[in-house]
């Protein structure tokens, strides 16, 4: 089965968590909106459908007759099919719980540059963004990163849910990548406190399929349109 991934064509964003799972799995997929303008129109049209299961926002994945939205939900589906999640119910619920906590963290990273509203420009909310970023670096980022570190340390490793790589590991890799891009100054110090998370990041980066993906043109570079944006003023 050839999957169809629908996501904004010029950013990593939330779609990247799905791309990493598809790439690690060696799955056959098409990144529809990147293929052509017609792909982007098709995506918009599917979202506006009046029946069926239209998504509120991308990413969503077509898998045969299924159309699945919400990043963590897509990973729940792919994880079971491609050996990227534990087989037991307890294991599946735990890795999904982690993914949802990662999603919360990613949302908080996003809101550092858009604390007032997504329909406004960053430039129109710079003051609030500075305040929110300071708060985020002081309170939230250490709390989340420390939580992930504690799980990795307590889990017996080398991956966050144990001996086998799962989709949450791929997402934690992306979280470290994103945080390094957004807050290089902050991360320079913060990484010392989370050696297990950094080791996990490096382990994921070295996976053959992930390495090939990162070296390819399929990996869109970080930029100031996505979730992870670098603004010097927010990384004091």
Is 206 exposed, middle or buried (CB count within 10 Å of its CB: 0-12, 13-18, 19+)?
A: exposed
Q: Is 164 in the site for a second copy (CB under 8 A)?
A: no
CA 223 to centroid of chain Cα atoms: 15
Q: Which of the stretches 23-31, 48-56, 193-201, 210-218 binds a second copy when contact is defined by CB under 8 A?
A: 48-56
Which tokens in the block code for residue 84? 């990227």
Given the complex with a second copy, which of 33 and 61 has the nearer CB atom? Answer: 61
**Is 151:98 a contact under the CB 8 Å cutoff?**
yes
52-81 footprint of a second copy as x/- string (CB under 8 A): xxxxx--------xx-xxx-xx--xx----
d(CA 175, CA 101): 12
d(CA 214, CA 197): 19
Given the complex with a second copy, which of 164 and 219 has the nearer CB atom? Answer: 164
Among 94, 167, 173, 222, binds a second copy (CB under 8 A): 94
Residues engaged in binding a second copy (CB under 8 A):
49-56, 65-66, 68-70, 72-73, 76-77, 89-90, 93-94, 96-97, 100-101, 104, 107, 111, 115-120, 125, 128, 131-132, 135-136, 139-140, 144, 147, 150-151, 153-155
């Amino acid at each position: 089965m050839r999957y169809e991934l629908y996501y904004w064509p010029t950013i990593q964003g939330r779609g990247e968590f799905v791309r990493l799972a598809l790439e690690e799995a060696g799955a056959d997929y098409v990144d529809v909106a990147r293929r052509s303008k017609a792909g982007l129109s098709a995506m918009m049209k599917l979202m506006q459908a009046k029946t069926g299961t239209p998504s509120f926002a991308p990413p969503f994945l077509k898998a045969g007759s299924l159309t699945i939205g919400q990043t963590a939900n897509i990973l729940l589906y792919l994880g079971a099919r491609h050996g990227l999640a534990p087989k037991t119910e307890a294991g599946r619920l735990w890795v999904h719980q982690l993914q949802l906590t990662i999603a919360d963290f990613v949302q908080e990273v996003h809101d550092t540059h858009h604390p007032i509203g997504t329909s406004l420009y960053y430039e129109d909310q710079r003051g609030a963004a500075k305040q929110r970023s300071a708060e985020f670096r002081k309170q939230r980022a250490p709390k989340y990163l420390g939580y992930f570190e504690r799980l990795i340390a307590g889990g017996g490793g080398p991956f966050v849910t144990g001996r086998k790589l799962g989709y949450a590991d791929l997402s934690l890799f992306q979280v470290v990548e994103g945080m390094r891009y957004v807050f290089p100054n902050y991360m320079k110090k913060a990484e010392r406190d989370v050696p297990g998370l950094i080791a996990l990041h490096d382990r994921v980066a070295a996976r053959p399929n992930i390495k090939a993906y990162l070296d390819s043109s399929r990996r869109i570079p970080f930029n100031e349109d996505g979730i992870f944006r670098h603004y010097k003023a927010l990384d004091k």
